[in-house]
Amino acid sequence: MISDEEDLPELSVIIPVYNRPEKIRTCIEGVLNQTYPEELTEIYVVDNKSTDQTREVVKEYSRVNLEKENEIQSSYAARNTGIEACEGHVIAMIDSDCDPVDEWLENGVKKMIETDADLVGGNVEFTFSKRRKASELYDSINNMQVESDIKGRGVAKTANLFSKRKVFDEIGLFPEDVKSGGDVTWTRKATENNFKLVYSKEAKVRHPARRFISSMKKQFRVGKGKYSNDEKSKDPMKILKRFNPPKISYLKSKLEEKVDSKVSKQMFARLFLVVWMVNVFQNLGFIYGLFNDIRRIK
């Protein structure tokens, strides 16, 4: 527990959710169990048009404010709704399928104060099923590599992100017209405007690694987001090349970089197929965006 609370900022936690009644329960309880002072913390869950029991689960927790996103079904629009409703000087964002460690908020704010940072990207630790799937392994080595993304690209993900409110006041809210990549676009804009973004290993949340179907859906969304944000990728030859199988040498180097122990030949073969299918689905999402654009022009 933090011993000196005098200079600590008021903090708001924003959690967008869509059709995840059990996972939002785990996430909320993880946030309620934080070591950060309760009197300085408010929690906003923004329902993104759920059609199941998600809203009823959220209503079980008296400390949690429930907002509803009515106009745009987008996680970024939902986050914006929460940001506009909350009052904290620091805003902490977490995905509804994440489970934070008890010191998550405390360590994120500590890092922000110690480094005089405007934004802090926290550690995302992947969890796996009892028998780890190739798709889960892929997700853990390819997605939400927060430390390297911050150091190499100046971007971070909203699965675990702290920001001072003044950043939103100056550069605006998240883009709402994208399904994926809005957090990368926004944090890049922040760092390009000289706001300081740092990494905290100790501000940790646990995130379940995606299985095959979930990964394919995710990459399709990424492809649509990439179409919206990256003009250079619209070259027809680049579109065709993205259907090619991955290079084995690249995949081996990726594994050596990210995985402590060697994987079996069988796992490597499965991982190769997963990576290939991921590339295909991302490209299909990109092409979907292209055809939607053409249809709008007509």
pLDDT tens readout for residues 67-98: 886 677 889 999 999 999 999 999 999 999 99
* Helix 265-297 vs helix 212-229: crossing angle, to nearest 10: 40
In a domain, 149, yes or no: yes
- pLDDT at res. 279: 87
Do 257 and 149 lie in one domain? The reply is no
In whole angstroms, give the CA distance from residue 107 to residue 54: 29
- Residue finishing a domain among 155, 190, 208: 208
In a domain, 228, yes or no: yes
Do 173 and 266 lie in one domain? The reply is no
- Residue finishing a domain among 208, 233, 266: 208
Residue 117: give its domain's CATH number: 3.90.550.10
- pLDDT at res. 33: 97
Range of the domain at 230: 212-297
Question: Which residues lie below 8 Å from residue 222, measured CB to CB, with a gap of 6+?
Answer: 180, 181, 282, 285
- pLDDT at res. 236: 67
In a domain, 53, yes or no: yes
Do 284 and 194 lie in one domain? The reply is no
Strand partners, 44: 14, 65
Do 133 and 228 lie in one domain? The reply is no
Tokens of 167: 């950043």
Whole-angstrom CA distances from 40 to 11, 12, 37, 62, 192 are 6, 8, 5, 16, 30
In a domain, 278, yes or no: yes
Ranges of residues in the chain whose predicted pLDDT is under 50: none
In a domain, 112, yes or no: yes
Do 125 and 237 lie in one domain? The reply is no
- pLDDT at res. 223: 81
Do 74 and 153 lie in one domain? The reply is yes
Do 221 and 235 lie in one domain? The reply is yes
- pLDDT at res. 34: 98
In a domain, 5, yes or no: no
Do 243 and 135 lie in one domain? The reply is no
Do 263 and 125 lie in one domain? The reply is no
In a domain, 3, yes or no: no
- pLDDT at res. 3: 54
Do 163 and 87 lie in one domain? The reply is yes
Do 184 and 226 lie in one domain? The reply is no
Number of compact structural domains in the chain: 2
Q: Are 61 and 31 in contact (CB under 8 A)?
A: no
In a domain, 83, yes or no: yes
Q: Are 136 and 162 in contact (CB under 8 A)?
A: no
- Residue finishing a domain among 178, 208, 238: 208
Do 107 and 138 lie in one domain? The reply is yes
CA 50 and chain centroid, separation = 19
- pLDDT at res. 4: 60
